[in-house]
């Protein structure tokens, strides 16, 4: 799952900042192209990271990764994980120097086939979900804001990434505006809950404010306080934003920094500032309240545990 999170940061964050924010808003074609190309590499990067995490030889990991060029993040993730077992089997059974030939001739085509096979299944499911969200906007903005705002902030702190989710759903208009600004607001919740519950160091608090995926280990170690806080704050902010009239036609920009910046390209600046401030206030308040609710919750701190183990051994 850490490979999924890292791949999302390396591709969708670059695509959002370079392509949609700097490229579209500043009208710099080179940066726009850079962002678009980064978005197409998600499958390659996630496959390579999975292979490396599975202790596959770096050369073979790279060979496996190239099979997923222009294949989406989730289909590549599923296919690469399955293929990693076959690659490891080949490495164990075939003498070094010949294993890569087997991988090139047999496993790369198989990996590509699996990636292509999974793509319509994943895309079809996600597009249906995106259609339901768009339809909910016309029938019940309240429900759409509540569900989408809550889901985006939770997914934003999980390895899947809110950027990847909204890009694959193809959200635009009001739903994408809700996703973008609730992702922005999640920074205030996450920094508050981490700081007040003493989850991680100050560096971690700053890091999660900039990009929640960067501290997926801390979130995964303490899922209940972080996810519950994010869902409540995101849902409340999403309800407000659903009636704001703001739009966002840049799918995949559901992240704190690009989520805010890209909104200025589609809406009056003062409206964006006003609703960004409201979202921040809601999320900060929820963070304060939930940190009190979870004040006695047992915290697992991955950055503290190693030091504690060392101290206990010295004792």
DSSP per-residue string spanning 64-76: HHHTTTT--HHHH
pLDDT tens for residues 210-237? Answer: 878 777 778 878 889 999 999 999 999 9
Give the Cα separation of 13 and 38 in Å (integer). 9
Report the half-sphere exposure of 145 (CA within 13 A, side-chain side). Answer: 21
Q: How many CB atoms lie within 10 A of CB 63?
A: 22
pLDDT at 68: 94
Greater pLDDT, 193 or 23: 193
Looking at the chain, the whole-number percentage of residues with pLDDT higher than 90 is 38
Give the Cα separation of 83 and 43 in Å (integer). 14
pLDDT at 155: 85
Instruction: Evaluate if pTM is beyond 0.85.
Output: no
Give the mean pLDDT of 72-95.
90
pLDDT at 106 over 90: yes
Give the Cα separation of 154 and 150 in Å (integer). 6
pLDDT at 299 over 70: yes
pLDDT at 98: 84
pLDDT at 2: 65
Least confident of 49-53, 109-113, 155-159: 155-159
Cβ pair 93, 102 in contact under 8 A: no
pLDDT at 310: 37
Cβ pair 256, 162 in contact under 8 A: no
Report residue 276's pLDDT band, with 50, 70 and 90 as the boundaries: very high
Closest by Cα among 195, 193, 197, 196 to 185: 193
Least confident of 93-97, 190-194, 287-291: 93-97
Cβ pair 56, 87 in contact under 8 A: yes
Report residue 63's pLDDT band, with 50, 70 and 90 as the boundaries: very high
pLDDT at 304: 47
Closest by Cα among 199, 213, 181 to 277: 181
pLDDT at 302: 56
Sign, CA torsion 196/200/205/208: negative
pLDDT tens for residues 31-52? Answer: 888 888 888 888 999 899 999 9
Give the Cα separation of 226 and 278 in Å (integer). 21
What is the DSSP code (8-state) at residue 33? H
pLDDT at 258: 83
């Amino acid at each position: 799952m850490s490979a999924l999170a890292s791949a999302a940061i390396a591709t969708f964050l670059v695509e959002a900042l370079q392509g949609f924010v700097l490229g579209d808003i500043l009208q710099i074609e080179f940066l726009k192209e850079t962002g678009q190309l980064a978005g197409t590499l998600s499958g390659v990067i996630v496959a390579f990271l999975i292979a490396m995490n599975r202790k596959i030889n770096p050369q073979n990991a790279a060979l496996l990764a190239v099979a997923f060029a222009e294949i989406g993040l989730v289909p590549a993730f599923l296919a690469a994980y399955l293929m990693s077992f076959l690659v490891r089997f080949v490495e164990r059974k075939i003498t070094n120097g010949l294993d890569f030939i087997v991988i090139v001739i047999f496993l790369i085509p198989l990996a590509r086939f699996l990636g292509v096979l999974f793509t319509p299944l994943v895309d079809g499911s996600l597009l249906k979900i995106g259609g339901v969200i768009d339809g909910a906007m016309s029938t019940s903005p309240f429900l759409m804001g509540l569900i989408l705002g809550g889901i985006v902030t939770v997914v934003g702190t999980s390895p899947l990434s809110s950027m990847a989710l909204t890009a694959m759903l193809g959200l635009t208009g009001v739903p994408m505006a809700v996703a973008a600004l609730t992702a922005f607001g999640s920074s205030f919740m996450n920094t508050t809950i981490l700081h007040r519950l003493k989850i991680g160091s100050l560096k971690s608090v700053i890091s999660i404010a900039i990009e929640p995926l960067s501290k997926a280990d801390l979130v995964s170690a303490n899922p209940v306080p972080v996810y519950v806080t994010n869902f409540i704050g995101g849902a409340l902010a999403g309800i407000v934003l659903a009636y704001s009239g703001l739009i966002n036609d840049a799918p995949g920009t559901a992240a704190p920094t690009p989520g805010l910046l890209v909104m200025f390209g589609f809406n009056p600046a003062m409206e964006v500032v006003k609703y960004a401030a409201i979202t921040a206030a809601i999320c900060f308040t929820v963070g304060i309240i939930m940190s009190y609710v979870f004040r006695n919750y047992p915290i697992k701190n991955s950055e503290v545990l190693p030091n504690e183990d060392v101290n206990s051994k010295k004792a």
